[in-house]
Amino acid sequence: MTDSEKNAILDRITIGTKEIFKDADLIIEAVKENMQIKKETFKELDSIVPANCMFASNTSSLSVTEMSNGLSRPVIGMHFFNPAPVMQLVEVIRGELSTDEQVAKIIEIAKDIGKDPVEVNESAGFAVNRILGPMLNEAIYELYEGVASMEDIDKAMRLGTNMPMGPFQLADYVGLDICLALMETLQHELGSDKYSPCPLLRKMVRAGKLGVKTGIGFYDYRR
């Protein structure tokens, strides 16, 4: 990327607080994966934005129906995948309060920005993370139980399933705190111990080793 291309992109980004929302048509929330924080964010926005503004959440597993409760407009899920500039998929999550018009508009917007959306009815973990989260968690259990080394588990999954990166590298890119929050949501919402987070995953998060965003997770990115 040239300097002029970089500057052109930065010139299109406006940074601010409440004043930048007053004329918004769509807000995509991407705060911490915590229901209370998300609800508080939308509640504050609800009193600032115009009546036609749509609310969307980039949550990876939480209920958009619960986020909508008490607002003047429903929240819809617009779940991008990491890394967002590269990954084509956007899950459009239809909550209990979502309208057909809202869903159609979000699908249209996703396509307009070059993404390939899928429509999903709200359920814990949605379509992808309901499968992906337990797979990553199971890989961590294999390491925890001494089945194989981290490097060999990653290698086996790359070569054996044609994954572009192994589960530990992928978990580091997703964020180990997000992986933990996802498993806790699945366990709570679906009521099954098969979704119990691996103790090693909890320990990593408690140590602040969250993956790429902190410089260290299962791999060390500080070098």
- The catalytic site residues sit at 79
State how far the Cα of 94 lies from the Cα of 98, in Å rounded to an integer: 6
The answer to whether the beta carbons of residues 43 and 70 sit under 8 Å apart is: yes
CB atoms within 10 A of CB 6: 10
State how far the Cα of 9 lies from the Cα of 2, in Å rounded to an integer: 11
Helix (H) or strand (E) holding 91: strand 89-94
State how far the Cα of 49 lies from the Cα of 29, in Å rounded to an integer: 13
Dihedral sign for Cα atoms in the order 22, 28, 33, 39? positive
**Contact residues for 175 (Cβ-Cβ < 8 A; gap 6+):** 82, 210, 211, 212, 213
**Contact residues for 151 (Cβ-Cβ < 8 A; gap 6+):** none
Dihedral sign for Cα atoms in the order 157, 179, 137, 220? positive
Q: Is the peptide bond before 83 cis (omega within 30 degrees of 0)?
A: yes
The residues with which 64 forms a beta bridge, in sequence order, are: none
